[in-house]
Amino acid sequence: MSALKIYFAPMEGITDGILRRVHRDIFSGVDVYCLPFHKLTQSLSLTARETRDVDPEENAGLTVLPQALTRDPSQLLAWLDYIAGLQYRCADLNLGCPSPTVTKRGRGSGMLRDPGFLLSFFDFVFEHSLPVPLSVKTRIGFDDPGEWPRILGILAEYPFDHVTVHVRTAKEQYTCAKHPEAFDTAVREGVPHLVYNGDLRTTEDVSGLLARCPETEAVMIGRGLLADPSLARQFRGGKRASAEELSRWYSTLYVRWKERFGTTVALGRIKKLMEWPSEGDIRKRRLLRRADSIEGCIQAILGGCDGDGRPA
Ligand SMILES: Cc1cc2nc3c(=O)[nH]c(=O)nc-3n(C[C@H](O)[C@H](O)[C@H](O)COP(=O)(O)O)c2cc1C
């Protein structure tokens, strides 16, 4: 399992530079930290948040993958120049965002609705010599998994650095059924440089994927790393997070977020992050909702756990 490349999934509003650095310092195990998307505009003026997030100083010592959201190939090319100027080694295009506000403009997974448009988009992009390798993060269709062979066939025509596959359609959002076999088939057909994404929550989930599909080179993990930030380290044979490490994780994030955004935002971010370790636990969720300090939040999540962070 140790040769497996691990990407920390981009999660807008959660995985900012502070979280990336604190994660690396306490837990490590991740090869590439993915940046939430930059929503490109005609003028290519990024927001203050986007500009800071991609600033090399914000990402010092980390390997990161910036991401763009656009359906305009000229905007993408201009953004790739900007990313190359910051000396990043690869850049990603979002073909997966299922939010209706994004897809109704034909962006994110909205681009998957029209295979003809996808072809002309990437024909235009790859007619140019790219200043930095391009990757894509896609879903397996918009409405129906039956769309996947056509989408995969299109993506396989172009020299992407890698293709991350979230094994759901846009309609399936984040929690409905998923289709791991769509990934396995693509790997078996010899499509190179695929990254598996979707619900890898435990070391057993990853072992199961590798048993089914031993050729898997890389995985991307989002919510699994929020629920258990030591997951990538465990894949490398390292230990599970101790209660002390988890407490340090939350309190360091709180202090850094408070320095940057103030107390209210910092507490809101901590509570959003703690939605995952408290998933499915009504008692923890209730305590978390009522907590009005970082100590209260940590007590809600870790109270009743033994020194290894497991329920006592
Ligand atoms: C709150 C939230 C924000 C997200 N933001 C992005 C984003 O900016 N770009 C992107 O490609 N995917 C985004 N995603 C999708 C995740 O990167 C990932 O594909 C998804 O959570 C499935 O992986 P997981 O089951 O390991 O969490 C987001 C997901 C969540 C829950």
Could you tell me the mean pLDDT of each successive run of 10 residues in the chain, 312 residues long?
Answer: 87 96 97 98 92 98 98 98 97 97 96 97 98 98 96 96 97 88 91 95 95 95 97 95 97 98 97 92 94 96 70 52
Burial (CB < 10 A; 0-12, 13-18, 19+), residue 61, is: exposed
Residue of 11, 16, 30, 219 to mutate, ligand 1, most atoms within 8 A of C-beta: 11
Instruction: Look up tokens 């992009």; give the residue.
Output: 125
Q: Extract the tokens encoding 220.
A: 């991307």
Question: Ligand 1: does its nearest atom lie under 6 Å from the Cβ of 223?
Answer: yes
Question: Ligand 1: does its nearest atom lie under 6 Å from the Cβ of 109?
Answer: no
Q: What is the pLDDT of residue 44?
A: 84
Q: Which amino acid is at 211?
A: A
Q: Which residue's CA lies nearest to atom 4 of ligand 1?
A: 11
Question: Ligand 1: does its nearest atom lie under 6 Å from the Cβ of 108?
Answer: no
Burial (CB < 10 A; 0-12, 13-18, 19+), residue 296, is: middle
Ligand 1 atom with minimal separation from the 199 CA:
25
Q: How far is the CA of 256 from the centre of ligand 1 (A)?
A: 23
Question: Ligand 1: does its nearest atom lie under 6 Å from the Cβ of 141?
Answer: no
Q: Extract the tokens encoding 263.
A: 């107390």
DSSP label at 37? E
Q: What is the percentage of the chain residues whose pLDDT exceeds 90?
A: 91
Q: What is the pLDDT of residue 1?
A: 52
Q: Which amino acid is at 135?
A: S
Question: Ligand 1: does its nearest atom lie under 6 Å from the Cβ of 138?
Answer: no
Question: Ligand 1: does its nearest atom lie under 6 Å from the Cβ of 37?
Answer: yes
- Alpha-carbon span 157 to 163, nearest angstrom: 12
Q: What is the pLDDT of residue 310?
A: 62
pTM of the model: 0.96
Instruction: Look up tokens 């490398």; give the residue.
Output: 236
CA nearest to 29, candidates 225, 217, 222: 225
Q: Extract the tokens encoding 239.
A: 């230990």
CA nearest to 6, candidates 272, 185, 205: 205
Q: How far is the CA of 85 from the centre of ligand 1 (A)?
A: 26
- Alpha-carbon span 122 to 155, nearest angstrom: 9
| Ranges of H-type helices in the chain | 17-26, 48-54, 73-85, 100-103, 115-126, 148-155, 180-188, 203-212, 223-227, 231-235, 243-261, 263-273, 282-290, 294-302
Could you tell me which residues are beta bridge partners of residue 93? 68, 136
Q: Which residue's CA lies nearest to atom 30 of ligand 1?
A: 11
Question: Ligand 1: does its nearest atom lie under 6 Å from the Cβ of 135?
Answer: no
Q: Which residue's CA lies nearest to atom 14 of ligand 1?
A: 11
Residue of 7, 8, 12 to mutate, ligand 1, most atoms within 8 A of C-beta: 12
Q: How far is the CA of 139 from the centre of ligand 1 (A)?
A: 11
